[in-house]
Amino acid sequence: MFKKVLIGSVATLVIGGYIFGKDVFSYLKTAGSQARDAVKSEVPVEFEIERARELVEELVPDIRHSMHVIAEQQVDIEHLNEVIASREEALNQQREVILALRTDLESGQEMYVYEGRSYSEEKVRRDLATRFSRYKTVQDTLARDRQILTAREKALQANQDKLDKMLVVRQDLEVQVEQLEARLKTVQAAETVSVLAIDDSQLNRAKTLIRELNKQLDVKEKLLDNDGRFTGLIPVATEPKIPSNLTKEIDDYFELRNEADLAEVGNSNL
């Protein structure tokens, strides 16, 4: 499989070199860039926002590590302060002893008594020299401890500043992610309104149909009202009234009718 892919890639380069010449790599680079941009443009914004949120969350382990380092540095500094304080106290005690022995030696005695035991001048002088040498060694060590303490305090302060900045940056990034999500929801809401505006023709058709249906129902109601004038009345059965002088009315009607006809005929002859 790998061999086929390799052969295909070589063939592509050969053909591309034959067609484009020295510019083949430029064409390939441009094509790759366009393909990468095209793929990236197809990634949903929601996915990218969630990816940004995860990247912000990935800062948490670094922050916790910085907190752990700071805690260790604080413990080391506290311990070193205790050591420095103990050595300072010991040096102060040795300084008093050294000065006391020096004062005793200035008296010029041959024997010296300390805590019930006698010591010759040579032993006291040798002891004083040893104490003084150790004192200077401890004093140098104390000076280095103070330098170390200063360096550790500076490192601690630097790490605290770094931690503070990381916390601030993380908070700012969280706010920015929340703002992006809010903007996305606003855009989605606007897109929904836009889609509704585009489909406004369907709403108009629905309104027109409802208007036509109301019109048809109005017409049917009017027809029912008009039919009700004849068919909707109370069906009261009545007998036709017969006039008492019906015969006379008929004779008079037709007699007058005949005289009028005769007169019309005579006038026409004249």
What are the pLDDT tens digits along the chain (270 aa)? 545 544 555 455 555 555 555 555 554 556 555 545 544 556 687 888 788 888 888 888 888 999 999 999 999 999 999 999 999 999 999 999 999 999 998 988 889 899 889 999 999 999 999 999 999 999 999 999 999 999 999 999 999 999 999 899 888 888 888 888 888 888 888 777 665 555 556 667 777 777 777 777 777 777 776 665 555 555 555 566 677 787 777 777 777 655 555 455 455 544
What is the distance, to the nearest Å, from the Cα of residue 165 to the centroid of all Cα atoms in its chain? 20
Of 144, 176, 198, the position where a domain reaches its end is 198
Pair 69, 176 in one domain: yes
For residues 96 and 93, what is the distance between their CA atoms, to the nearest angstrom? 5
Pair 57, 170 in one domain: yes
Pair 35, 58 in one domain: no
Pair 79, 22 in one domain: no
Q: What is the CATH classification number for the domain harbouring 96?
A: 1.10.287.1490
For residues 207 and 210, what is the distance between their CA atoms, to the nearest angstrom? 5
Whether 267 is covered by a domain: the verdict is no
Contact 52, 177 (CB under 8 A): yes
Q: Is the pTM of this model over 0.85?
A: no
Tokens of 121: 């001048």
pLDDT at 45: 78
Pair 152, 173 in one domain: yes
Domain that residue 16 falls in: 1-42
Whether 215 is covered by a domain: the verdict is no
Pair 31, 64 in one domain: no
Radius of gyration of the chain (CA): 59
Q: How many domains does the chain have?
A: 2
Whether 150 is covered by a domain: the verdict is yes
